[in-house]
Structure 1
Amino acid sequence: MIYILNNCIEYDSETGEIIQLGSNSEVAKLTPILNRIFRVLVENNNMIIPREELLKKVWDEHGLTASINTLNQYISALRKLLYQHLEIDNAILNIPKKGVILSSELIITQRNTELVRHSEEKGDTEKLDGRDKLPLIELNTHNQVAVSSVIAKPRVCYTLKRNFSLKIILGFSVILTLASMYNLFFGALSFDKVNTYLVSTIGSCPVYSFNSNFDDKNNSKDIDKHVKEFNLQCNNSAIFYYYSNHSNAQVEKQTLLTKCEDNKICISTRINW
C-alpha cells in the first residue's frame, strides 16, 4: 500500500521506500524492522499501539526477539527520519503506560491504485487547468476510510535542511573526484539514484547504510567501536553513513563511518583489521 504523508513524501509499506515528492532526492529505504514498525503505526493511524503489540507484530511473528529498549531505539530512529523529511519535531508520541501513536501533525492519505486504474480505463479522470484529479483515500480522525477526488495541485512541503545527495558525495570525495575526472575527459555522466537504509542512531542522529543486508548485531558493534575510539558525538544535526566490506572474504576487513554536518563538512573514520 502506498501512503502520502503531509502531501510531501510517499511511503510504500510493502517495500519500505520513502520518496520525497517533487524533488530529485534519492530513494530512502527502511530496513525490514523499521518498515514493519512504521507500517503498523501508519495502518493504525490515530490509535494508540501498545509496545507489547509492536514487539509481537514486528519481532515475535517473524521468529525474532527484542526488548522494549530496542523498540524505543528504533522508534527514535523513525522520529529522526520523519523530522528530516517533514520537520515534525515529535512525529511519534509516547503515551505513558499505554503505548505510542502518530502525531496529529501527520496528515496521511492512501493512494488507491485500483480507483486510479478504473478511472483511467473509463476515461473519467477530470482535469482542471491541465491538472489531473487523482482518487485518494483519506484516513480521518476516526481511522475510517473516505474516498475523495483531490486536485493534484502543486505540493506544499517543508524544505529539507539537508541535501542527502550532496552529503553522500562529500562523504565519499574519492568517488566524486574520479567521476569528475571521467566527466571532464569523456563527457557528461548520468548517475543512478543511490538507495540509503536507516540502520541505527548515534544519540539522536541517524546512521544510514548503502547495503540493505545490514547485520544488526555485528554492524552495530562496529558502529559503537567507531563512536568510542574516535569520540564521535551527535551535534549540529549531523548525519552518519556506514560502510563495511564484511561480505568480501578475499580482502582485508575494514569499516568506514562518515559524519556530515550542516556546514557540509564531512569527517570519515576507518578501522582495519
Structure 2
Amino acid sequence: MKYIINLTVTFDPDNRLLILKSDTQQSVELSKPATRLLNELINNNRVNLVRDDILKNVWEDYGFSPSNASLNNHISELRKAFSNLGINKDIIFTVPRVGFRMDAEIHPIQKGITEQTPNDNVPALNEGLTVSPEGTSPDIDEHKDGSSIYRSLKKHRMLSFVLALLLLLTTLIGMTTLIHTKKESISFLLTHEKCSIYNLNDNKPNKAYTAKIIKEMAEEGIDCSREDLDIFYAEAHPDNERLRVRLLAACSKIDTTRYKNCLNYKTVE
C-alpha cells in the first residue's frame, strides 16, 4: 500500500521510494531498513514508539541484528530524505528516554486506486483512429489492431470509475468532519474495546453486519485495544454483484467534540 504524507510526498514501500507529488521526477530511494522503519512509524503515526519495540519490529523480526546506532542512522536518513523533498518541518520526533514518534498527516492510497502521472490524466480515446480528409467520420487505422482500441476504452472506463470512488470518499470525509455537530443523524452500533462504531447507512444492522465491520477493521490494522477511536462505516451499492464499495473511517479523538485526524479506508469488489 502507498501513502501520501502531508499532502506533499508519496511513500511507495514496494519500490522503496519517496516521491514528490507535484513533480514525480523528484524522488529519493530509501535503504531497505529505512523503508521498514518508515512503515513502522506510519503504522503508529502520532504514537510514541519505544526503541526496543522498533528494533524488534524493524530488525529482529526480519532476521537482522539490531543496534541503537543503526536505528539512529536510519532515522537521520528519513529526516534528510523528507528535507530534500521540501518537508522542512520535522515530522519524526525524538522522545527523550523513550524512542521516536511520527507526527504527520497520512492518507493511505487504497485498493482499486492508482496514482496518475500528468500524462495519464486524459485517456487516449482516439488511439488507433484516423479522421478522413473531409473530417466527417473516423476510420479504424489498418495498422492498429482491435486490442489497442479495447485498451483505450478500458482505460477511459477505469478513469470514470476512479473519479466515482473519489467522490464517494470525499462525501464520507465531509460527513466525518461534521460528526460532532450532527451525531444524532448517525446510527451508533456498538462499542468494541476502546472503539465506538457508527453506521452511516440507513439499514438496520444485524450481528453478521457488525461482525463484518469488526473483521474489516482487523484486516486494515485498526487496533481498538490501544487507542480510543470513533469508527464510521458505510456501504455503496451493497446489492450490486458487479460493484460493491465499502468505506471505513477511523478517527482519533481529542475530546468528545473534536478529532486529531481520521484515516480513511476503501474496499472495492
TM exceeds 0.5?
A: no
Under a length normalisation based on structure 1, what TM-score does the superposition of the two structures give? 0.44
Comparing both chains, which one has the higher relative contact order based on Cα–Cα distances under 8 Å and sequence gaps of 6 or more? 1
Under a length normalisation based on structure 2, what TM-score does the superposition of the two structures give? 0.44
